[in-house]
Amino acid sequence: MNYFSSDFKLGILGGGQLGKMLLYNTRKFDIYTCVLEASNKAPCKIACDEFHLGDLMDYNAVYNFGKQVDVLTIEIENVNVDALETLENEGVKVYPASNTLRTIQNKAKQKLFYIDHNIPTADFSRFAYISEIEDAVANGGLKFPFVWKAAQFGYDGNGVKVVRQLSDLDGLPKGECIAENLVPFKNELAVIVARNASGDTKTFPVVEMEFHPEANQVEYVICPARIPDDVARKATEVALKVSKAFNHVGLLAVEMFQTKDDAILVNEVAPRPHNSGHQTIEASYTSQFEQHLRAILNLPLGRTDNKVGGVMVNLVGAEGYTGNVVYQNIENIMTMDGVTPHIYGKKQTRPFRKMGHVTIVNEDLNEARRIAEEVKKSIKVISE
């Protein structure tokens, strides 16, 4: 099929920053794109060929949009899966497939999937209501501390909480959830696996993620991870096993824990471009966004190794600021060697909202990490 400078249409569900960065590459290849998104102020709006307003959880909105495109992909998991299933049955190519998304959308189903496929993951219990957790604690079936996760609609640290006492459950959503053993780990790692419809797979180098203690958001992504080769090999093998089990097409970001004794446990996955791959734009031969396009269009997959070491810093809204965004000291960080800011195009900031990221590339990874900290301290995302 001719995708380039043709009447082929690629549909993207979701209009956020991941979609915007995907569109850098559709423009590079001159692929015609249509985006569906609920907000008229979405970052994608400036970069797609057609922008459609609609609720991603609404069956008719997703179905009617999908009927107008040849291949449909996502940049966010929270979409109407029933509509995707109907579209697949009517011949639209949907990547990732509806059955993959159905499993991944629900954290309880996702965890059961790992158990069924002998994929190592932290022990957990599944609950229909949060009140059942209190009963389990009372009768000794569940011990503190554990990690509470909402089964659905969590993102960026929302829907996840470490529970050390009963009062920590106060104010959490009442519905379906899991309680997961708190894993004592050395590192949080991630591997992005790309797979096309022909079944060819490639993995990006293992990255290490450093988290913000309060917001439960990634502060730094470091690539390659500063871990022994055998641990990196093990993490890559586990990621490939997960990819094979899902039989997905596109990208699959596999987030993992490296335990104190160097075992690898899968935390969760995302079937799309992911925060743990942003540094690939500057640091890799093929960015994760270009690779996602190659995979869903069944084109040859690009080279995935690093040209240079890369560290990514998330730019999130500073605490205490809500309103029209101002990037304070952005000129200062642009004087630093190897520093590239990416601004997502969200006009309104609020505490911990992802507003952009900065990539730091350097032949010396430790120097890149040092500069990243300087970047983090210098730039502030505030409001007018």
Annotated binding-site ranges: 107, 149, 180-183, 188, 267-268
Output the known binding site for ATP: 107, 149, 180-183, 188, 267-268
- Cα 341 to Cα 279, 310, 359, distances in angstroms: 11, 13, 6
**Amino acid at site 49:** D
